[in-house]
Amino acid sequence: MAAVETSTADPAATVALPGLARALIAAGKLNQKAAEDLYRKAQAHRTTFIAELTGSGAVSAFDLAHIMSTAFGAPLLDLDAVDVQRLPKSLLDTKICQDYRVVVLAKRSNRLTVATADPADPQAAEKIKFATQMGVDWVIAEYDKLSRMVEAQATTATEAMDSLIGEDFQFDEASLDTGAGEEEAKGTSEVDDAPVVKFLHKMLMDAINMRASDLHFEPYEHHYRVRFRIDGELRDIASPPVAIKEKLASRIKVISRMDIAEKRVPQDGRMKLKIGVDRVIDFRVSTLPTLFGEKVVVRILDPSSAKLGIDALGYEPEEKARLLDAIKRPYGMVLVTGPTGSGKTVSLYTCLNLLNQPGVNISTAEDPAEINLPGVNQVNVNDKAGLTFATALRAFLRQDPDVIMVGEIRDLETADIAIKAAQTGHMVMSTLHTNDAPSTLVRLRNMGVAPFNIASSVVLISAQRLARRLCPACKVPVDVPPEALLEAGYREEELDGSWMPYRAVGCNACNNGYKGRVGIYQVMPVSEDIQRIILRDGTSLEIAEQAQREGVRSLRQSGLHKVKLGVTSLEEVINCTNI
């Protein structure tokens, strides 16, 4: 028996105590045996050492906070004096806050001030650094108060699923326009689980209020997450229970008029949400089968974005004048170019909204139509049914149009018909995927369009990018060496000391120092000199040089001008115009 007792005692003597326990032993507040007993109980109960410590009454939360503050030289904060509503939102995933019992108090530059009761936990610091890519400055708080604040903050995470059942969101089922028939309505009852329905409603409303452009519902093997794309960046918002993934996907598919039984192939749909008496938000929905369930992406299509006016898009006065002059011509082609997500559709819709008058017949072919514009004849192309861009264009020409908008020129057939329409008395607008305005003309040539047709039809090309706009409440000037400014693209004469670039800081009103986005444009009219370069089959470099001589800014120069005006940061311009 003695041998057995010795063998069981040895592991007890070599227990690897956490840093918090070692700090309490060093402070004389806990002996070795009591610390080891508490640690074993925590493991047996599958809880944390600090929870077992404070729960057992071995050390009070008040005493523990004071001991930790002294031992680690960190400031002590009474959380009763902190307003949870004024704390920064969404800087750290709610699940991390719950797992490690931490609360983000503030953000300054690239460091977070975080309240904790256990600054000796290395995993918490590493997890926060990895999730935010920022440093951590600890502030000590009492564990019981900290736990209450973590729960109070977790309004969009897992526990919200239960609390949503009794909440009133000031809109009901009628606010979602499903367009479903009787058979689909019967199917709806299969997924009308109250927590799921209200959770979906809350996510949609949160996304609209946070000015998000997309919602991502993503299932994985052991967890489920919801992310919003805000100002071009994806951010973790919620981690609902993985068990709801089937019901949530089914709910979205029902109200988007998709096949609820089909889970093997991607599907597309649409839904509407009525907000108030005079505002309706459209959503474009896409599902994708993944290893662990269907991923759902919801694109927010706010019709009001097309009615903001051209001034809200960020065009400089001379760029705006060139664009307005081009679209008001009786015939010709205006092309908008840029990568996916650069705001091409909003720019085109804004132009159409300006031209949308009672005496003008406007027809559009899109894949699909994103925003409903009253007074505009919008057609969704359907390749499977034979309704392609080219087919729609041919039909438009028999419909007595004044203005034609083609969602995208993808092939020679569509390009040829669009150019012929521009040559025969119609204003044609469309998009292409090219890096800048000069390369767009070469792209058309490479598609097989004759140089003469390009030169005689295209009147203007607008290349664009979207850069994050600096938050006016917290941006601060930054001293950048002249060498760095010259390398970025500024000329010597521009560095006259009359201006300074600004940098992002971050506050409660913005997203890491940025709030909203602004367009960066290269608006290039096709002049007679550029036409001559096209006719002799010149390169995009020759076209760009001629455009520079005519006063057309490149995308980088346009972005640098926005930096001089304090609209965005130098880093943001370099990132989005890295061509």
Q: Does 409 fall in a domain?
A: yes
The closest of 327, 362, 361 to 347, measured between CA atoms, is 327
- The CATH number given to whatever domain includes residue 461 is 3.40.50.300
Reported residue count of the chain is 579
Residues 285, 351, single domain; the answer is: no
Other C-beta atoms closer than 10 Å to the C-beta of 227 total 18
Residues 319, 284, single domain; the answer is: no
Q: Does 360 fall in a domain?
A: yes
What is the per-residue pLDDT for 416?
Answer: 92
Give me the sheet containing 111-116, strands edge to edge.
103-108, 111-116, 135-140
Q: Does 573 fall in a domain?
A: no
Residues 358, 393, single domain; the answer is: yes
The closest of 515, 491, 521, 520 to 502, measured between CA atoms, is 515
Task: For residue 11, give the DSSP letter.
Answer: H
The stretch 375-392 carries a mean pLDDT of 88
- Residue 69 is encoded by which pair of tokens? 């503050």
Residue 338's region, left for phi above 0, alpha for psi from -120 to 50, else beta, is: left
Binning pLDDT at 50, 70 and 90, where does residue 579 land?
Answer: low
- Which range (174-183, 256-265, 347-356, 388-397) has the least confidence? 174-183
Q: What is the pLDDT of residues 385-405, one digit of tens each?
A: 888 889 999 999 899 999 999
Q: Does 237 fall in a domain?
A: yes
Residues 226, 281, single domain; the answer is: yes
Give residue 365's identity as a one-letter amino acid code. A
For helices 437-447 and 528-535, angle between their N-to-C axes, nearest 10 degrees: 40
Residue 309: is its pLDDT beyond 90?
Answer: no
Across the chain, what does the average pLDDT equal? Answer: 83
The stretch 279-299 carries a mean pLDDT of 91
For helices 437-447 and 540-549, angle between their N-to-C axes, nearest 10 degrees: 150
Residues 284, 316, single domain; the answer is: no
Residues 425, 532, single domain; the answer is: yes
Binning pLDDT at 50, 70 and 90, where does residue 183 land?
Answer: very low
Q: Which residue has the higher pLDDT, 158 or 340?
A: 340
Q: What is the pLDDT of residues 71-88, one digit of tens each?
A: 888 899 888 888 777 788
Total domains in the fold of the chain: 3
Residues 286, 369, single domain; the answer is: no
Sign of the four-CA dihedral 377, 382, 387, 388: positive
Residue 149 belongs to what domain range? 19-154
Q: Which residue has the higher pLDDT, 257 or 159?
A: 257
Q: Dump the DSSP string for 155-177.
A: SSSTTHHHHGGG---S--GGGEE
- Which range (155-169, 321-335, 347-361, 466-480) has the least confidence? 155-169
Q: Of 300, 323, 352, which one is at a domain's C-terminal end?
A: 300
Residues 290, 338, single domain; the answer is: no
What is the per-residue pLDDT for 172?
Answer: 39
The stretch 472-485 carries a mean pLDDT of 89
- Residue 526 is encoded by which pair of tokens? 């096709």
Residue 90: is its pLDDT beyond 50?
Answer: yes
Cβ atoms of residues 255 and 178 within 8 Å: yes
Contacts 24+ apart (CB under 8 A), 358-364: 360/402, 360/403, 361/399, 361/400, 361/401, 361/402, 361/403, 362/401, 362/402, 362/403, 362/404, 362/405, 363/396, 363/399, 363/401, 363/403, 363/404, 363/405, 364/404, 364/405, 364/406, 364/407
Q: Does 103 fall in a domain?
A: yes
- The CATH number given to whatever domain includes residue 70 is 3.30.300.160
The stretch 370-378 carries a mean pLDDT of 85
Q: Does 71 fall in a domain?
A: yes
Q: Dump the DSSP string for 318-374.
A: HHHHHHHHHHTSSSEEEEEE-STTSSHHHHHHHHHHHH--TT--EEEEESS--S--T
Residues 296, 311, single domain; the answer is: no
Which position has the token pair 């300006």? 354
Residue 180: is its pLDDT beyond 80?
Answer: no
The stretch 193-220 carries a mean pLDDT of 86
Binning pLDDT at 50, 70 and 90, where does residue 101 land?
Answer: confident
Q: Which residues have a Cβ under 8 Å from the Cβ of 250 and sit 6 or more positions away? A: 190, 191, 260
Give residue 152's identity as a one-letter amino acid code. A
Q: Dump the DSSP string for 38-62.
A: HHHHHHHTT--HHHHHHHHTSS-HH
Residues 428, 549, single domain; the answer is: yes
What is the per-residue pLDDT for 304?
Answer: 66
Q: Of 86, 120, 154, which one is at a domain's C-terminal end?
A: 154
Residues 271, 321, single domain; the answer is: no
Residues 450, 414, single domain; the answer is: yes
What is the per-residue pLDDT for 430?
Answer: 93
Q: What is the pLDDT of residues 486-498, one digit of tens each?
A: 998 898 888 888 8
Q: Dump the DSSP string for 487-504.
A: HHT--GGG-SSS---EE-
The stretch 522-527 carries a mean pLDDT of 95
Q: Does 575 fall in a domain?
A: no
Q: Of 129, 154, 179, which one is at a domain's C-terminal end?
A: 154
Residue 427: is its pLDDT beyond 90?
Answer: yes
Cβ atoms of residues 231 and 515 within 8 Å: yes
The secondary element (H helix, E strand) that includes residue 202 is helix 194-209
Q: How many CA atoms lie within 13 A of 257 on its CB side?
A: 13
3-state secondary structure (DSSP) of residue 539: coil
What is the per-residue pLDDT for 438?
Answer: 93
Q: Dump the DSSP string for 216-267.
A: EEEE-SS-EEEEEEETTEEEEEE---GGGHHHHHHHHHHHTT--TT--SS-E
Q: Does 190 fall in a domain?
A: no
Binning pLDDT at 50, 70 and 90, where does residue 17 land?
Answer: confident
Give residue 259's identity as a one-letter amino acid code. D
Cβ atoms of residues 140 and 72 within 8 Å: yes
Q: What is the dihedral angle through the alpha carbons of 15, 20, 26, 32, rounded to the nearest 10 degrees? A: -30
Query: Counting beta carbons within 10 angstroms of the beta carbon of residue 13, is it exposed (0 to 12), middle (13 to 18) or buried (19 or more)?
Result: exposed
User: What distance in Å separates the CA atoms of residue 528 and residue 516, rounded to the nearest whole number?
Assistant: 38
- The CATH number given to whatever domain includes residue 251 is 3.30.450.90
